[in-house]
Amino acid sequence: MRQIFLLLFSIFSFAQQTQKVDFKTAYGNISINAVEKKVYGSVKYIFELKEALDTIKIDAQRMTFTDVKINNEEVNFINSGKTLNLFEGFKKGKNTLVFSYEAFPKQTMYFNTQINNLQIWTQGQGKYTSHWFPSFDDVNEKVVFNMNITFDKEYNVLSNGILKEVYKFNDKKIWKYEMQKPMSSYLLAIAIGDFRNKVLASKSGIPLQLFIQPKDTAKFEPTYKYSKEIFDFLEKEIGVKYPWKIYKQIPVEDFLYAGMENTSATIFSEDFVVDDIGFNDRNYVNVNAHELAHQWFGDLVTAKSGKHHWLQEGFATYYALLAERQVFGDDYFYHQLYRSSLQIRNASKTDTIPMMNEKASSLSFYQKGAWALHYIRETIGPKLFQKAVQNYLKKYQFKNVETEDFLDEIKKVASIFDTEIFKKTWLEDYQFPIEISNALLKKNQFLQTLFETQQLRDNSFAENNENYKAILNSTAFYPVKTEIIYQLKDVKFEEKKELIELAMQTNDLKVRQAIAEFTDEIPIEFKSNYETLLDDASYETKEIAFMNLWKNFPESRNEYLLKAQNWIGGNDKSLRILFLTFSVLSSNVESQDKTNYYNELVEYTSSKYETSVRENAILNAFTINDKDIIVLRNLVTTTTHYKWQFSKFGREKIRELLKFEVHRSLFQNMLPTLSENEKYQLQKLLIEK
């Protein structure tokens, strides 16, 4: 999984059931009712009893069961509300269990009804698949899952593995998916929506099935740019054939994370569905490679417990970085390593939990994990590193692993590499080995130049002028140049004029964006040059420049509005929302137009839109009028959203407003119009303190 936000990772496993019983194959026949938000169906499990056992448990949260049979005989069972407990009818050796069930999943399966565009999808890591399908919260139980899913015929239904058949059944369709190999239950997934797709083939012949919503077909190319290259690269770099028969990638709206590596069916956030301009601001390349790397590290070999979680996230992060190195080059690669080293060093000032601990931070599991692997690879060389990884993957394929299993394979190919010291330094010490990492970073010439340029901060402008000029004229990677722009921040424009013009002429988006950002006051002589930033191929640059110009040149506001009138921006509609806000606040816009613009802005605060649009629109609408009853009503609906980052935003905003008596009574008066859940959330906020 690639997380945007930190998440505490924990794995709960009950008393080693896997040692005595082995669940082999699951056949699920399920229907999903989107109106009732209900899942129901029948399940067949084939399992082998290896040792006598009183009770066999299947995780099942708040479900009901009927027709429970083992080996064709109806059996008694106990439903604890968390597990289905079986205690009779099974024997040593092979057994068949069948049952019917119903579930109202409160989490793990999400029903997204925004934009009149239904999407249903699951997220099984950090949550439990047992909320919608009776399965195993213990990652050590690996099962071959085969799912038949019934749903309305207008939609696509996607799940793990090969689609064997789709057939019509009244106004519905039944989608039959088949897997060949076992996996942990948290990797079981369903995604339902209106999707188109395109199939590419990897060099090795694996079908790469790339999905997109019909409204986004124009964004297909930039969204999936480099997908095939990344796949071919990782298969070669890892040195083990992709372990599954097909690879699907599905973007969904208001996803909880950046992406999730469900076996053979990655689900990722609509935030990464971008056009050519959006690609420059935020692209899918890293997440694409990260989730793909998990198909080996996580899905093929799975960490036995949270303590060894770095075996998944560290590997996925590192191989994603290697794939990006292939796409964006060495300087990019080293710059990312450098940036993550700064983050880890900074965090280790307050975070003293080492990486080999289930409570370690995401930064440790992901970035420090990647650094630890970089250290091994640089020390023993890429060939031996690959050999060890190959042996490790082959030895433990479709099984579970712990840190020692990997280190043993390193030891076998490179006996001089001291895995004990490695473990102490990288995995068991919370501190980041600065000297070792700095030595590795200095292998890259660009980073050396960056470090030298950072040293210039201590000199006077006059001393640096020539140096600056030389660097800006060079082909150096952009961070060296943005460092200069940063250093020039407080220098008088007269003095830095030539350098800024030089930097503008680099036509490097990042360098120009730094100028947009670090120029608060725009001198009149720089105005027309600065205005060219409005045409840059970056929504972020356009937004910064638009705001800055608006502030600096009130007399030109009409021109800017004219320029921005057809802009939309990325998925969050940042430029459209800014245009609407400025238009309403402007003294020169006709009042009828203002009304229309304001109404459009208010519309974006409603639950028809993605959370990124709503958040933006709510904040902007409040700068115009924070007592608009429609916006306040839409703000209350945020508190019941499944996306916790968004409901948190809503609650915090309401708390701020509740400090004012006028808002308090506006919210009070709203209570009778709210749904039960919204009423509950708002009342909780009203009685705080």
List residues near Zn ion by CB under 5 A: 1-2, 313, 316
Closest separation in Å from C-beta 294 to Zn ion: 5
Closest separation in Å from C-beta 591 to Zn ion: 52
Identify which of residues 4 and 118 has a Cβ nearer to Zn ion in the complex: 4
Give the separation between CA 128 and CA 118, rounded to whole angstroms: 23
Identify which of residues 1 and 450 has a Cβ nearer to Zn ion in the complex: 1
Give the separation between CA 533 and CA 392, rounded to whole angstroms: 51
Identify which of residues 2 and 173 has a Cβ nearer to Zn ion in the complex: 2
Residues 6+ positions from 606 with CB-CB distance below 8 Å: 614, 634
Closest separation in Å from C-beta 309 to Zn ion: 10
Query: What angle in degrees, to the nearest 10, is found between the helix axes of 574-585 and 611-624?
Result: 10
Residues 6+ positions from 551 with CB-CB distance below 8 Å: none
Confirm if 268 and 249 have CB atoms less than 8 A apart: yes
Identify which of residues 126 and 433 has a Cβ nearer to Zn ion in the complex: 126
- In order of 119, 225, 505, 646, the CA distances from 650 in angstroms are 23, 35, 43, 6
Confirm if 259 and 269 have CB atoms less than 8 A apart: yes
Helix or strand (DSSP H, E) at 560: helix 557-564
Closest separation in Å from C-beta 236 to Zn ion: 21
Closest separation in Å from C-beta 3 to Zn ion: 7
Closest separation in Å from C-beta 262 to Zn ion: 12
Give the separation between CA 503 and CA 227, rounded to whole angstroms: 33
Map 481-527 to HEC letters: HHHHHHHCCCCCHHHHHHHHHHHHHCCCHHHHHHHHHHCCCCCHHHH
Give the separation between CA 174 and CA 89, rounded to whole angstroms: 32
Tell the residue number behind the tokens 């119009």, with chain if given: 673
Identify which of residues 68 and 316 has a Cβ nearer to Zn ion in the complex: 316
Give the separation between CA 187 and CA 128, rounded to whole angstroms: 10
Tell the residue number behind the tokens 């939309």, with chain if given: 568
Identify which of residues 17 and 266 has a Cβ nearer to Zn ion in the complex: 266
Closest separation in Å from C-beta 367 to Zn ion: 12
Confirm if 77 and 55 have CB atoms less than 8 A apart: no
Closest separation in Å from C-beta 291 to Zn ion: 7
Task: Catalogue the E-assigned strands of 328-409.
Answer: 399-401
Closest separation in Å from C-beta 7 to Zn ion: 11
Q: What are the structure tokens assigned to 375, written together?
A: 């250290």
Closest separation in Å from C-beta 259 to Zn ion: 8
Q: What are the structure tokens assigned to 509, written together?
A: 């988006």
Confirm if 268 and 284 have CB atoms less than 8 A apart: yes
Identify which of residues 31 and 343 has a Cβ nearer to Zn ion in the complex: 343
Identify which of residues 84 and 250 has a Cβ nearer to Zn ion in the complex: 250
Identify which of residues 365 and 649 has a Cβ nearer to Zn ion in the complex: 365
Query: What angle in degrees, to the nearest 10, is found between the helix axes of 629-638 and 644-657?
Result: 140
Sign, CA dihedral 325-326-327-331, equals positive
- In order of 33, 270, 271, 614, the CA distances from 571 in angstroms are 29, 8, 6, 11
DSSP helix/strand/coil, 164: strand
Confirm if 533 and 515 have CB atoms less than 8 A apart: yes
Closest separation in Å from C-beta 282 to Zn ion: 18
Identify which of residues 145 and 365 has a Cβ nearer to Zn ion in the complex: 365
Tell the residue number behind the tokens 């694409």, with chain if given: 288
What burial class does residue 681 get, using C-beta atoms within 10 Å of its C-beta: 0-12 exposed, 13-18 middle, 19+ buried? buried
Identify which of residues 103 and 287 has a Cβ nearer to Zn ion in the complex: 287
Closest separation in Å from C-beta 1 to Zn ion: 4
Identify which of residues 9 and 175 has a Cβ nearer to Zn ion in the complex: 9
Closest separation in Å from C-beta 366 to Zn ion: 7
Identify which of residues 43 and 293 has a Cβ nearer to Zn ion in the complex: 293
Q: What are the structure tokens assigned to 383, written together?
A: 């060939």
Identify which of residues 2 and 512 has a Cβ nearer to Zn ion in the complex: 2
Identify which of residues 2 and 557 has a Cβ nearer to Zn ion in the complex: 2
Q: Would you give the distance in Å from CA 11 to the centre of its chain? A: 20
Give the alpha-carbon dihedral of 454, 457, 462, 467, to 10 degrees. Answer: 0
Confirm if 172 and 29 have CB atoms less than 8 A apart: no
b/e string for 614-644 if b means 16 or more Cβ within 10 A?
bbbbbebbbebebebeebbbbbbbbbbbebe
Closest separation in Å from C-beta 398 to Zn ion: 19
Identify which of residues 192 and 311 has a Cβ nearer to Zn ion in the complex: 311
Confirm if 537 and 277 have CB atoms less than 8 A apart: yes
What is the CA angle 202-205-206, rounded to 5?
70
Closest separation in Å from C-beta 330 to Zn ion: 24
Closest separation in Å from C-beta 243 to Zn ion: 17
Identify which of residues 292 and 427 has a Cβ nearer to Zn ion in the complex: 292
Closest separation in Å from C-beta 364 to Zn ion: 13
